[in-house]
């Protein structure tokens, strides 16, 4: 498991440095495997607002972009760029003259076709973050002009990777690790208030527990008419990315965020593709097959499954099959939360075959 140090410190923030913090995590029985900086290759990069865009008078291949990078007081600079998808009014990331990228490249004024360019428009790649597309960064309207991007994206952070043994299921989320640190530092965790959300959906289905000695409880809820067009805030995406998870799917991002923070494994299905009951059971031997990511999967005997009346939905409660997976076209969700008996000796064996 890996996670952002800053995310952990949102829950409990002892007055110790990263080295001591990692020593305390290890003393809890959670071995720290590695610590690495999120990004340490840029300086002087700020948030700007595009004031105007115009085609270079002497070359149609270039655009002249006026950008305000002032912090409270307007400070306008001109940037010559071949990007034509930049428009007036948007917030972007700018490396003005004097800024440093890639830990060594100092931005200087340059003359392009007779016009002076006083900076460049940045992508995440320029900031040392390589998991996103290499396009100019467009920020929300509430991003404050002149803010240092290290502060905005919280780049002064570390990614901590730990090894969790099977007996420490309680530490598979940020809150569990924070609890261990709070004990060692004689601190209190913030009060966590969970307010029940009453269901307004009349749809229902039955859950059948065929193996209560392995899975004594399974809770689920149907959510209808989801809005997949809503974008996840970049700060949440960054927390996920620093935890080794990066997707472009709003629903998956939300589920992963909750699961990582609270240590509560959740999974989601397309509710419209579920027929009949939800059944938690063991496999019927080697005759059962299904499809995962286009590959045919042969399921061995003694494998835990989640299925409906006709098909397998999930293998081992963490590998969803193609038949009910969530896609961009999904409108209605079934969210499930499963509780396993840790004393169960069930072993999951999955054999991948050819398509």
Q: How far apart, in whole angstroms, are the C-alpha atoms of residue 290 and residue 352?
A: 10
Q: Would you say residue 62 has pLDDT above 60?
A: yes
| pLDDT confidence of residue 323 | 85
State residue 265's pLDDT score: 79
Out of 17-31, 62-76, 77-91, 236-250, give the one with best mean pLDDT.
Answer: 17-31
In a domain, 266, yes or no: yes
Check whether residue 30 and residue 166 sit in a common domain.
Answer: yes
In tens, the pLDDT along 187-232 reads 998 887 778 888 888 888 899 999 998 889 999 999 999 887 888 8
Instruction: Return the minimum-mean-pLDDT range out of 78-87, 260-269, 281-290.
Output: 281-290
Q: Are residues 211 and 345 in the same domain?
A: yes
Assess whether 274 and 129 both reside in one domain.
no
In a domain, 279, yes or no: yes
Are 74 and 26 in a shared domain? no
pTM, to two decimals: 0.81
In tens, the pLDDT along 268-279 reads 999 999 999 999
Task: Read off the pLDDT of each residue in 237-266 and give the average, rounded to a whole number.
Answer: 87
| 170-176: average pLDDT | 91
Whether 190 is covered by a domain: the verdict is no
Backbone torsion region of residue 113, taken as left when φ is above 0, otherwise alpha when ψ lies between -120 and 50, otherwise beta: left
pLDDT band at 49 (very low <50, low <70, confident <90, very high): very high
Supply the range of the domain harboring residue 11: 2-38+157-184
Cβ neighbors of 302 (< 8 A, separation 6 or more) are 282, 283, 346, 347, 349
| Domain assignment of residue 7, yes or no | yes
Residue with tokens 């809150």: 175
- In the structure, what pLDDT confidence band is assigned to residue 345 with cuts at 50, 70 and 90? low
What CA–CA distance (Å, rounded) separates 227 from 233? 15
Is the pLDDT assigned to residue 76 strictly greater than 70? yes
83 & 56 share domain: yes
Say yes or no: 236 and 346 in one domain: yes
| CATH number of the domain bearing residue 80 | 2.40.50.140
pLDDT for 285: 67
**Within a domain: 82:** yes
Name the domain boundary from 103, 130, 149. 149
Across 19-33, 106-120, 187-201, 280-294, least confident range: 280-294
For the chain, the residue count is 355
Q: Is the domain of 339 the same as that of 231?
A: yes
212 and 339 part of one domain? yes
Measured CA to CA, the distance from residue 215 to residue 341 in angstroms comes to: 6
Of 169, 184, 199, which marks where a domain is finished?
184
- 15: CATH: 3.30.56.10
Q: Is the pLDDT of residue 301 over 60?
A: yes
Pick the closest to residue 316 from 301, 330, 329, 306 (CA basis).
306
The answer to the question of residue 189 being in a domain is: no
- The CA distance from 319 to 229, in Å, is 25
The DSSP annotation for 6-68 comes to: HHHHHH---S--HHHHHHHHHHTT-EEEEEEES--S-BS-EEEEEEEEEE-TT-TT-EEEEEE
For residue 162, pLDDT over 90 is answered with yes
User: What are the tokens at 56?
Assistant: 């270079």
Based on the domain organization, do 89 and 162 belong to the same domain?
A: no
110 and 77: one domain? yes
Model confidence at 343, pLDDT cuts 50, 70, 90, reads: low
Total of domains in the chain: 3
Identify whether residues 163 and 51 lie together within a single domain.
Answer: no
For residue 305, being part of any structural domain is answered with yes
Structural domain contains residue 140 = yes
Average pLDDT in the chain: 87
Q: Does 65 lie in the same domain as 33?
A: no
Cα–chain center distance at 224: 23
């Amino acid at each position: 498991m890996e996670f952002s140090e800053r995310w952990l410190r949102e829950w409990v923030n002892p007055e110790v440095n990263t080295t001591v913090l990692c020593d305390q995590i290890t003393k809890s029985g959670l071995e720290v495997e590695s610590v690495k900086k999120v990004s340490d290759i840029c300086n002087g990069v700020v948030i700007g607002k595009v004031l105007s865009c115009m085609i270079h008078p002497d070359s149609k291949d270039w655009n002249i972009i006026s950008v305000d990078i002032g912090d409270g007081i307007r400070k306008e600079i001109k940037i010559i760029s071949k990007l034509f998808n930049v428009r007036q009014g948007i917030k972007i990331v700018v490396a003005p003259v004097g800024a440093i990228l890639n830990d060594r490249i100092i931005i200087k004024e340059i003359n392009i076709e007779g016009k002076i360019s006083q900076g460049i428009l940045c992508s995440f790649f320029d900031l040392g973050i390589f998991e996103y597309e290499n396009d100019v960064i467009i920020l929300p309207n509430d991003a404050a002009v002149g803010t240092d991007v290290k502060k905005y994206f919280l780049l002064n952070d570390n990614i901590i990777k730990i090894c969790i043994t099977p007996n420490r299921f309680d530490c598979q989320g940020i809150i569990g690790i924070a609890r261990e640190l709070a004990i060692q530092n004689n601190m209190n965790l913030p009060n966590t208030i969970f307010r029940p959300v009453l269901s307004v959906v009349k749809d229902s289905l039955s859950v059948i527990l065929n193996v209560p000695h392995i899975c004594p409880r399974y809770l689920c809820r149907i959510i209808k008419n989801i809005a997949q067009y809503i974008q996840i805030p970049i700060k949440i995406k960054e927390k996920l990315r620093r935890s080794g998870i990066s997707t472009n799917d709003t629903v998956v991002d939300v589920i992963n965020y909750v699961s990582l923070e609270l240590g509560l494994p959740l999974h989601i299905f397309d509710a419209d593709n579920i027929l009949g009951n939800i059944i938690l059971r063991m496999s019927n031997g080697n005759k059962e097959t299904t499809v995962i990511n286009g590959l045919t999967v042969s399921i061995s005997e003694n494998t835990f499954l989640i299925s409906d009346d006709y098909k397998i939905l999930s293998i081992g409660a963490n590998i969803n099959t193609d038949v009910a997976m969530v896609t961009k076209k999904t409108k209605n969700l079934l969210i499930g939360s499963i509780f396993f008996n840790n004393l169960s000796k069930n072993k999951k064996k999955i054999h991948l075959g050819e398509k």
